[in-house]
Structure 1
Amino acid sequence: MTRPETIVPEEPISPFPITQESRIISGFGRGSSELGIPTANIPINKELNDLDTGIYYGWCKLLPHSQEEDELFIRQNGKQVKVNHGRTLCKEELTALPMVMSIGWNPFYHNKEKAAEVHIIHKFDTDFYGASVKYNVLGYIRPELNYTTKEALIDDINLDIKIAKEILETKDNYSQFKYKL
């Protein structure tokens, strides 16, 4: 399947906006290490599961859990990860930030479980495993696609990021949701 044109309505239309809060969970660790595009994984709930697989855009806000102690966990691939619950985030990183969200099976990686992965469009200096994220999903960019190369996947993700930034920064009917988190 080739990438279809992204059509953006003047304002979010049903079922959007979808506003939720979730704890960030452990993913596969591929976003940062393999793709250079880190993601925060969140559990698939009924409302997200009911959406078509694909790429979505909106706003999100990280919520640290400052009362919790650091801990370590080991990913399925054996890599050890420090969980700091978002305590090291700076003030700017605690504001509403633009995001793209992938919901689907990640066919390039042959996932056996459906996943929801949020890429926050910001360069973070530190990890925030164990924090929570409040987000609003405002619209749909494209369906989930399979790729023959990792480079093609990365190129499409970067195009998704560019499209989401443009929508969220230039369309008032979308930018206003930044202040509703």
Structure 2
Amino acid sequence: MEPTSNEWPIPENPEPPFPIVTDFCDIVFGFGRGSAELGIPTANVPLQQLPKETQDLKLGVYFGFAILKPMSHEETTAVRKDGRKVAYNYGKYLSKSSGDLDILPVVLSVGKNPFYHNVIKTVELHILHHFESDFYGAQVKFNLLGRIRPERNYNTKEALINDINHDKLVAKEVLSKENYLKYERQLA
């Protein structure tokens, strides 16, 4: 695949430090912008629950596979810093028949989201699948197989959305190739 300007070239096979595989980690609420502002829902995971190799990655956009696991827990509510409530259903509404529990392609942001002027590094997963409901409190296990591009700042929200949509296309194309597709098995 020929990278466009400012993208990292994607090799034929994952190259060190990839693949990086996580254990199951918690899905927590973030700033609430992915779905609400961008129409691109993300699952945030605590950086401290991830392998050191993930924490040491350059800021940017990565790709891999992910699998969700519902947790047996009573529903709860948390409150964001801006006062909005977040329902933690622990994945109770995830459906095997809808493919929610399959191993799915994912695009990940490892960064500070300069468009939003964040100061702390976050890891946000956009799982390439349509989910009928949120799943805060569920767990996710994922691998990182490569990187698409460095983190960028944007002048408009539309430019950010366009790049994210391009990242999704790149990830789908690369992850459909046998040299990458075989890494789905790491999560089985």
Global fold match (TM > 0.5):
yes
Deviation at 1:179, TM superposition (A): 2.2
Preserved CA contact (<8 Å) 1:3 1:142: no
Structure ranking higher in helix proportion: 1
Amino acid at match of 2:9: I
Counterparts of 2:119 and 2:10 in 1: how far apart (Å)?
A: 31
Partner of 1:80: 85
Preserved CA contact (<8 Å) 2:19 2:143: yes
Deviation at 1:125, TM superposition (A): 0.3
Percent identity among equivalent residues? Answer: 53
> How many residues of Structure 1 are paired with residues of Structure 2 in the alignment?
178
Find out whether 1:27 has 2:30 as its counterpart.
yes
Per-residue CA deviations over 1:95-116 (Å, capped at 9, x if unaligned) read 1000000001100000021110
Counterparts of 1:87 and 1:124 in 2: how far apart (Å)?
A: 12
Matches within 5 A, 1:61-72: 61-65=67-71, 67-72=72-77
Deviation at 1:47, TM superposition (A): 2.2
Partner of 2:164: 157
Counterparts of 1:160 and 1:134 in 2: how far apart (Å)?
A: 21
- The root-mean-square deviation of aligned C-alpha atoms, in Å, is 1.2
Partner of 2:147: 140
Secondary structure at 1:62's aligned position in 2?
Answer: strand
Find out whether 1:49 has 2:41 as its counterpart.
no
Counterparts of 1:159 and 1:77 in 2: how far apart (Å)?
A: 30
Task: Indicate the larger mover: 40-49 or 141-150.
Answer: 40-49
Uncovered stretches (5+) of structure 2, i.e. residues with no partner: none
Normalised to the residue count of structure 1, the TM-score between the two structures is: 0.95
Counterparts of 2:46 and 2:5 in 1: how far apart (Å)?
A: 26
Match of 1:17 among 6, 19, 28: 19
Per-residue CA deviations over 1:34-83 (Å, capped at 9, x if unaligned) read 00000000112432221000000000000110x21000111112111111
Residue 3 and residue 43 in structure 1: after superposition, are their counterparts in 2 closer, same or farther (change >3 A)? farther
